[in-house]
Amino acid sequence: MSSEDKQSDSVTPSRRRFVGTVAAGVAASAAAVPVLAQQAGGNQPAAGAAREAAKRYPRPPFPNQDQSWPALASKMTPRPDHGETTYRGSGRLAGRKALITGGDSGIGRAAAIAYAREGADVAIGYLPAEEPDAREVIQLIRDAGRKAVAIPGDIRDEAFCKKLVDTAVRELGGLDILVNNAARQQNNDSILDITSEQFDWTIKTNVYAVFWITKAAIPHMKAGSAIINTASQTAYDPPEKLLDYSGTKAFEVAFTKSLAKQMAAKGIRVNAVAPGPVWTPLQLAGGNSPEGRQKFGEDTPMKRPGQPAELAATFVTLASDESSYTTGHVYGVAGGGGQP
C-alpha cells in the first residue's frame, strides 16, 4: 500500500468506497458525544483532551521488563491505554451481541470496552491465567450498562472453541459480532530455534482456533452480522524473528478474503485489521527480545508503538452498519509504516 499519495488516479472505486467508509466511521467515533461511556466511572475527558491523548502516549525507550506467558496488561510499565478513560460511545452498536477472543487485554480489551460503550453486550474469551485482567474488563463492560460474559479456557482445544461459542450465544441470547483476536507470538532468531511443540502452539492458537471458532459461530449469525480477524502487518512485511507468527497472520488475511466471498450471499461481512507495533502483553511474554521491547515502535514514522485504544474505532466501524458495503478488506493501523 505504498500508493497512498497516488489515490486520486490509481485507487479503484471499491478501494475509494472502503477508505471513505472507514474514514467516516473513525471520524464519527472521534466526534461522538459521551453517552454510554458516562456510566463508566464519570471521569471521561473533554473531547479536546481525548484528541490530545495521542501526544501523551509513551515513546521508547521503555523500562526493561519481562513476564512469563501469558503476560498481564495490569503488570506492564507503562500500562497500556485500552480506552478505559478515553473512549466515548454513541450507540453505534446498540443491541448487538459480540464475542471477542483475547478480550482480557491488548487490542481485544480495547474492542470490548468500545463495543460495550457503543451499546453491545460482550463475551470475552481468555486463558485462565489472565483472570486478573479479565475481571477488570468485565467490570468495565458492566459499568457501561451492558451484559458481560467471562469464558476462560484454552482455544488450542477444539471442544473448548465450540463451548466458547455456545456459551456466548446462550448467555448473550445470540451472536452478531465475532472478533478473532487471541494470538500466540514468540521471538526466535532462527527456524532452528523453533521446536515442533512451539510451532504447534502458535499454529493451534492463531490458525486452528480461528477456523474452529468461526465455523462454530457462523450457524448462529444472521444477515447484518460481522466477523473481524486481527491480522498483522507482519503478514505483508514479515520480520526475520517472527517466522511462524507471520505465517499465521498471512493465513488470516487469506482466510478473511476467502470467507468474505463465501458469506456475502448470507449478508455476513468478514474483514480484518492489520496492526503495526502495539503495546500489549504479547511483547513481554516472548513476543520480543529484551532489547526489542525497550526500543519497541521506534522504527515507525510516529517513533512509538500504538496503544490498543487507537484501534478501537476501527473495530467499531467494521462491526457497525456504517460498513455495510465493506467485506473482504484488511485495514492497516500501523503508525505510518508497514502494509496494507
Place of cell 456466548: 168
H or E element that contains 247? helix 243-263
Looking at the predicted structure, is the pLDDT value of residue 232 above 60?
Answer: yes
CA pair distance 311, 157, nearest whole angstrom = 28
One-character DSSP codes across 104-166: TSHHHHHHHHHHHHTT-EEEEEE-GGGHHHHHHHHHHHHHTT--EEEEE--TTSHHHHHHHHH
pLDDT the model gives residue 312: 98
- Domain topology for 13-41+57-333: Rossmann fold (3.40.50)
- The reported pTM is 0.86
Q: Which residues pair with 271 in a beta bridge?
A: 228
Looking at the predicted structure, is the pLDDT value of residue 337 above 90?
Answer: no
pLDDT the model gives residue 47: 53
96: CB partners within 8 A, 6+ apart: 115, 119, 120, 121, 176, 177, 319
Out of 204-213, 252-261, 296-305, 315-324, least confident range: 296-305
Looking at the predicted structure, is the pLDDT value of residue 19 above 70?
Answer: no
CA pair distance 184, 177, nearest whole angstrom = 22
pLDDT the model gives residue 54: 66
- The reply to whether 245 belongs to the active site is yes
One-character DSSP codes across 39-84: GSSS-PPPHHHHHHHHHHS--SPPPP---PSSP-GGG-SSPP--ST
Q: Where are the domains of the chain?
A: 13-41+57-333
Given the residues 115, 245, 325, 331, select the one marked as catalytic.
245
